[in-house]
Amino acid sequence: MASPDTRTQLLDAAERLFAERGYRGTSVRAITDLAGANLAAVAYHFGSKAELLAAVARRVIEPINAAQCAGLDRLLARTPDPPVAELVAAFVGPMYDEMRAGDEGGARTSRLIVTILSDPAEEVRSWTGPAEDAVRDRYLEAFTRALPDLPPQELWFRIRGILAVTAVDRVEVHNRLAGLPPVAGEAAKQWAITFLAAAMSAPPTGT
Amino acid sequence: MASPDTRTQLLDAAERLFAERGYRGTSVRAITDLAGANLAAVAYHFGSKAELLAAVARRVIEPINAAQCAGLDRLLARTPDPPVAELVAAFVGPMYDEMRAGDEGGARTSRLIVTILSDPAEEVRSWTGPAEDAVRDRYLEAFTRALPDLPPQELWFRIRGILAVTAVDRVEVHNRLAGLPPVAGEAAKQWAITFLAAAMSAPPTGT
DNA sequence: GGTTCAGTCAAACGTTCGTTTAATTCAAAC
DNA sequence: GTTTGAATTAAACGAACGTTTGACTGAACC
């Protein structure tokens, strides 16, 4: 292990560059240059560029997932049937809280997640483990009990709506044309909870 | 002009492949192969790969924009201050209606839009013209009048929420884990309007 | 002092990419 | 019948890519 840990610096550089330019738009050479490492370091430490992305994704997603899980535990300890608004807050909150460490108000992490989720390449999306699925399934069940009249398909549509709003939140295209400054972290979190709690609580569409 | 119009077949092939594999994941060779054209045809008809993408994007977006504009005209002809739910329907509806022509229930077009909007490369996002901006500005103004108590920044946050939900709607990652069949076009449209009308109508977050 | 081994390094590998070139086709215009 | 010019073609171009190789480093261990 070198002094500033080449492996960690590769992860940091890759996280930033993948977020800024996408997976395919980032060359291994650009990563190693930014990390101050040799070109072969990626292959040595991670095996391949795709496995480096998987490592980056895990490092970003894991704390969010853990916080989502803990938040649901806390809710369920209080009442077996938490209201919709609190479920939304417990699910959405960590996506804003956990991504605030290090980068510009979470904008970079947000972009990274969008990049990963929207990239059509199989290798880019193959990092998910059973942990991510388990958390989502637990929330799905909790929402099902909180919204008993909502058909399963429409509930699933709304869950994806939550993911869409939280992930796409800060993509630059949508910000470009507003003369407004970028959204502050804490305010965006509250806005998202307000927006999504109202959306989730809407009555079923019917027919 | 050849019999089946090489130019159009290039547009069709590029639209499908850009949607399936992204801009960077699609080679010019793959496009010309699928179109049954020569490798040099892209350079001859469009100048470059980036300009071909711009042409594809324009062909997809223009009818949606026109329908959004017409829908708002229709609303404003009836009343100067349309309610939120009708504004949402007029804005969201065309994104589902206009993309139903040709591809699998609009899933491919939806993917194409996500691919374009979420790609960090500058060239991928430089196709927008003043028409797109004008429509968005008109809706922004209408929403501002319909929601006078909402601060501009939070309103803008919600507008982006609309775009996020409608665009990311059918990205495969989010569908993968549900045991449910893909969402049918008309049902998804109604679900989206229900979901987003409730979200837009939420009271301001406050503080 | 010699051995070991995780780590780093410069250099090269073969492939794929977007674009360019120059020759060719072929129906329409004269 | 010749000319014209848009359209197509095969072939090549140089650049950039992810990965591999084999030599080298230097502290740890015996």
At B20 the pLDDT is 85
- Is A33 contained in some domain? no
pLDDT tens digits for A27-57?
999 999 999 999 999 999 999 999 999 999 8
Distance B170 CA to D20 C1' (A): 40
Residue A143 or B128, more confident:
A143
For A81-131, write each residue's pLDDT tens digit: 999 999 999 999 998 887 655 565 566 777 787 777 767 666 666 666 677
The span from the CA of B154 to the CA of A40, in Å, is: 47
Tell me which of B2 and B204 has the higher pLDDT.
B204
Whether the pLDDT of residue A186 is over 70: the answer is yes
The predicted structure's pLDDT at residue B91: 95
Identity (one letter) of the amino acid at A62? E
CA distance A60 to A103: 12
Q: Shortest Cα distance from B186 to chain A (angstroms)?
A: 11
Q: Would you say residue B7 lies in a domain?
A: no
To the nearest whole percent, how much of chain B has pLDDT over 90?
Answer: 53
Please state the three-class secondary structure of A87-151 as a single string: HHHHHHHHHHHHHHCCCCCCHHHHHHHHHHHHCCCCHHHCCCCHHHHHHHHHHHHHHHHHCCCCC
Tell me whether A138 touches chain B (CB under 8 Å): no
Could you tell me which residues come within 8 angstroms of residue B47 by beta carbon, excluding any fewer than 6 positions away?
A: none
* pLDDT tens, residue by residue, B21-72: 889 999 999 999 999 999 999 999 999 999 999 999 889 888 889 999 999 9
**Are the Cβ atoms of B156 and A178 closer than 8 angstroms?**
yes
Average pLDDT over residues B102-106: 60
DSSP helix/strand/coil, B148? coil
Which of B162-178 are b and which e, b meaning 16 or more Cβ less than 10 Å from the residue's Cβ? Answer: bbbbbbbbbbebbbeeb
Whose C1' is closest to the CA of B47: which nucleotide? Answer: C19
Indicate whether A191 pLDDT > 70.
yes
Rounded-to-integer distance, Cα B3 and Cα B117, Å: 34
Query: Chain A within 8 Å of B86 (Cβ-Cβ)?
Result: no
Q: Is the CB of A2 under 7 A from strand C?
A: yes
Answer whether any strand D atom is within 7 A of the Cβ of A48.
yes
Residue A16 contacts B where some CB pair is shorter than 8 Å: no
Residue B27 lies in a domain: no
pLDDT-above-90 percentage for chain A? 53
Inter-chain contact A198–B197, Cβ cutoff 8 Å?
A: no
Q: What average pLDDT does range B109-121 have in this prediction?
A: 73
Q: Is residue B185 one of the residues assigned to a domain?
A: yes
Distance (Å) from CA B15 to C1' C22?
31
Q: How far is the CA of B12 from the C1' of D4 (A)?
A: 31
Instruction: Give the pLDDT confidence score for residue B33 in this predicted structure.
Output: 96
**Averaged confidence pLDDT in chain B:** 84
* Tokens found for residue A108: 């970079």
Element (H, E) at B86: helix B84-97
- Reading the block at residue B15, the tokens are 């639209």
Q: Does the structure show a pLDDT above 80 at B151?
A: yes
Interface test with A, best of B173, B180, B183, B193 (most A CBs within 10 A): B173
Host domain of residue B196: 59-200
Coil vs helix vs strand at B202: coil
pLDDT for residue B1: 44
**Does residue A14 register a pLDDT over 90?**
yes
Q: Strand D contacts (CB < 7 A) among B residues 10-49?
A: 37-41, 44-45
Q: Identify which has the larger pLDDT, B58 or B2.
A: B58
CATH number at residue B86: 1.10.357.10
Q: Model confidence over A137-162: pLDDT tens digits?
A: 899 999 999 999 999 989 988 998 99
Q: Confidence band (pLDDT; 50, 70, 90) for B124?
A: low
Residue A25 lies in a domain: no
In the 43-82 segment of chain B, residues within 7 Å (Cβ) of strand C are 43, 48-50
Work out the mean pLDDT of chain A and round it to a whole number.
Answer: 84
Q: How far is B90 from chain A (nearest CA, A)?
A: 17
Dist. CA A115–CA A67, nearest whole Å: 22
The answer on pLDDT for A203 being more than 90 is: yes
How many domains is chain A partitioned into structurally? 1
Instruction: Compare B201 and A104 and report the one with higher pLDDT.
Output: B201
Between A158 and B113, where is the model more confident?
A158
Lowest-confidence region among B25-34, B147-156, B168-177: B168-177
Would the CA dihedral through B120, B125, B130, B133 be positive or negative?
negative
Q: Do the Cβ atoms of B158 and A119 come within 8 Å?
A: no
B14: in domain: no
Instruction: List, in order, residues 6 or more apart from A77 with CB less than 8 Å away.
Output: none
Phi, psi of A161 (to 5 degrees): -60, -40
The protein footprint on chain D, as nucleotides within 7 A of a CB, is: 6-12, 16-22
Judge whether A17 is closer than 8 Å to chain B, CB to CB: no
Question: Can you spell out the DSSP letters for A3-64?
Answer: TT-HHHHHHHHHHHHHHHH-STT--HHHHHHHHT--TTHHHHHHSSHHHHHHHHHHHHHHHH
Query: Is B38 inside a domain boundary?
Result: no
Determine the distance between B194 (CA) and C15 (C1') in angstroms.
Answer: 50
**Residue A113's pLDDT is what?**
77
User: Per-residue pLDDT averaged across A158-186, rounded?
Assistant: 65
Please determine, for residue B171, whether its predicted confidence score (pLDDT) is greater than 70.
Answer: no
pLDDT at residue number B38: 96
- Strand C atom within 7 Å of A100 CB: no
Q: Which residue has the higher pLDDT, B207 or A198?
A: A198
Residue for token pair 């193959």: A126
Q: Which residues of chain B does A117 touch, with a Cβ-Cβ cutoff of 8 Å? A: 171, 173-174
Chain centre to alpha carbon of residue A126: 15
Q: How far apart are CA B7 and CA A177, in angstroms?
A: 32
The answer to whether A3 CB is within 7 Å of strand C is no
B46 in a structural domain: no
